[in-house]
């Protein structure tokens, strides 16, 4: 079932006589549990036309580096094989959204796309909708509940958001019927990616040298892109770790996390698919996991959708900005420059290990990311500088950087979606974290040792 609330005509133009329906699968390059793909399939069949799919690979994409492009293109080349099996020609185009996409759109009766929530993703779709001669229909598929249906405004906290979104889950947790197009487009002359390799595609769009990224990030990272890889990791999580998740999720040494965030970020797995698989287990741990997947993740999307300053210090709540401003001149015991943070050369072995984990693997344990962000605030000359540093490092090195979860996670370290706590130097009324708290949660020394060993392997 594709709920009508997921569908929006972005251009209000009449259908055009064309040779095919085009799916511009930018935010959700997958086949499984993809409402936008299924809408495109149904429209192609309704119009008695074949379906062609395309992805716009963008050089110099917002702080993306070689490991990000590699993860993405691994998924794209795997996707091309899946679409080929469904009789759908898949075209990878390079360049900024516009000319290349519009050239494909010239022969389309209709263009379907998925939904992105960041400002430039919205701008791309607005631009293409304006320039296409046929309709551009957007279908929202990377959330359980469409963002404007979950709430009509920016929410204050998880508590205020939870009440609204949970009341709408019954309607939007419905299974999605999977259909293949009735007509093949494989023999159509619209370009192909069969001759491309991961290496050639990455080299086309990445400004980083092969094998190295900025300050030593390895290429490739220890993750494989693609929806099959995502589903394999999800199945292993359900089989081995779901029942342990509520107890051990804040301990980076137990390895109980689902590791879905990179795949959700790149649209290689559906949150609806994950939720349905978790619910099928009937595990008593399901509710704890779904709180993170649905309430916390979609609260982040609510933040970036409604707050135009989601990536700036000015986007924080007024109380947080005031208390940080009041303490901006407080004496810092330590201060570090961006390059020192990036190179993980602070006095704190736990913080350094977290930074190295992110650089070496493209992923930092969520509890450590909170500590990491809090300490950047504590060790920067101003809170504004700290905010810029945390965002830049997160976007640069995390596979799920440049993502609503990342923007909201950094903002949380500075008071967003939180409340005022006891006032203290530097932090003001912002929640504080320290190394003693880490050691109460888990063996932090063991964590440091593991990351050090990882760096020498």
* CATH number of 32's domain: 3.40.50.620
Q: What range does the domain containing 373 cover?
A: 313-456
Q: Which residue, of 154, 179, 205, is where some domain finishes?
A: 205
Kindly provide the b/e burial profile for residues 80-103, where b requires at least 16 CB atoms within 10 angstroms of the residue's own CB: bebbbebbbbbbbbeeebeebbbe
Residue 287 within a domain? no
Task: Looking at the structure, tell me whether residues 12 and 132 fall in a common domain.
Answer: yes
Task: Looking at the structure, tell me whether residues 198 and 324 fall in a common domain.
Answer: no
Task: Looking at the structure, tell me whether residues 339 and 200 fall in a common domain.
Answer: no
Task: Looking at the structure, tell me whether residues 198 and 49 fall in a common domain.
Answer: yes
Nearest residue to 352 via CA among 368, 337, 366? 368
Residue 206 has pLDDT above 50, yes or no: yes
Residue 272 Cα distances to 118, 282, 294, 409, angstroms:
21, 16, 9, 22
Tally of domains in the chain: 2
Residue 55 Cα distances to 95, 225, 336, 410, angstroms:
11, 15, 40, 29
Taking only the tens place, the pLDDT of each residue in 260-280 is: 999 999 999 999 999 999 999
Task: Looking at the structure, tell me whether residues 199 and 54 fall in a common domain.
Answer: yes
* CATH number of 429's domain: 1.10.579.10
Nearest residue to 26 via CA among 134, 103, 132, 140? 140
Taking only the tens place, the pLDDT of each residue in 221-256 is: 899 999 999 999 999 999 999 999 999 999 999 999
Q: Which residue, of 178, 205, 232, is where some domain finishes?
A: 205
Q: Residues in the chain, how many? A: 457
Let me know: does 36 contact 112? Beta carbons within 8 Å.
yes
| 192 or 415: which leads in pLDDT | 415
Residue 333 within a domain? yes
Taking only the tens place, the pLDDT of each residue in 26-50 is: 999 999 999 999 999 999 999 999 9
Q: Which residue, of 158, 186, 205, is where some domain finishes?
A: 205
């Amino acid at each position: 079932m594709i709920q009508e609330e997921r569908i929006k005509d972005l251009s209000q133009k009449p259908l055009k006589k064309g040779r095919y329906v085009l799916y511009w699968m930018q935010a959700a390059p997958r086949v499984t549990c993809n409402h936008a793909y299924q809408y495109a399939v149904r429209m192609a069949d309704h119009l008695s036309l074949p379906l062609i799919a395309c992805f716009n690979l963008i050089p110099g994409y917002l702080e993306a580096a070689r490991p990000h492009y590699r993860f993405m293109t691994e998924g794209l080349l795997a996707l091309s094989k899946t679409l080929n099996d469904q009789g759908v020609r898949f075209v990878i185009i390079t360049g900024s959204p516009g000319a290349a996409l519009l050239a494909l759109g010239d022969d389309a009766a209709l263009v379907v796309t998925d939904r992105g929530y960041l400002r430039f993703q919205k701008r791309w779709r607005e631009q293409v909708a304006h320039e296409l001669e046929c309709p551009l229909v957007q279908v929202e598929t990377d959330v359980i509940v469409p963002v404007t249906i979950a709430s009509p405004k920016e929410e204050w906290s998880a508590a205020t958001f939870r009440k609204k979104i949970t009341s709408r889950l019954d309607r939007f947790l419905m299974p999605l019927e999977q259909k293949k197009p009735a007509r093949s487009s494989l023999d159509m002359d619209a370009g192909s990616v069969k001759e491309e390799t991961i290496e050639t595609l990455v080299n086309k769009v990445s400004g980083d040298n092969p094998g190295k990224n900025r300050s030593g990030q390895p290429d490739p990272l220890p993750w494989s892109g693609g929806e099959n890889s995502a589903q394999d990791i999800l199945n292993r999580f359900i089989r081995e770790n779901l029942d342990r998740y509520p107890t051990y999720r804040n301990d980076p040494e137990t390895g109980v996390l689902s590791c879905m965030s990179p795949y959700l970020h790149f649209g290689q797995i559906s949150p609806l698919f994950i939720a349905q698989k978790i619910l099928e287990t009937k595990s008593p741990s399901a509710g704890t996991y779904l709180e993170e997947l649905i309430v916390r993740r979609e609260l982040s999307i609510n933040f970036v959708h409604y707050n135009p300053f989601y990536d700036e210090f000015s986007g924080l709540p007024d109380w947080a900005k005031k208390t940080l401003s009041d303490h901006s001149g407080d004496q810092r015991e330590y201060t570090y420059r961006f390059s020192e943070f990036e190179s993980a050369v602070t006095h704190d072995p736990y913080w350094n290990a977290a930074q190295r984990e992110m650089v070496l693997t493209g992923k930092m344990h969520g509890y450590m990311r909170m500590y990491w962000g809090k300490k950047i605030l504590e060790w920067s000359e101003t809170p504004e500088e700290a905010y810029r540093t945390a965002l830049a490092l997160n976007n640069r090195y995390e596979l799920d950087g440049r993502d609503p979860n990342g923007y909201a996670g950094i903002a949380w370290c500075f008071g967003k979606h939180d409340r005022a706590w006891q006032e203290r130097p530097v932090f003001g009324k912002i929640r504080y974290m320290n190394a003693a708290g880490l050691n109460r949660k888990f063996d932090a020394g063991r964590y440091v040792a593991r990351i050090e060993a990882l760096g020498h392997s």
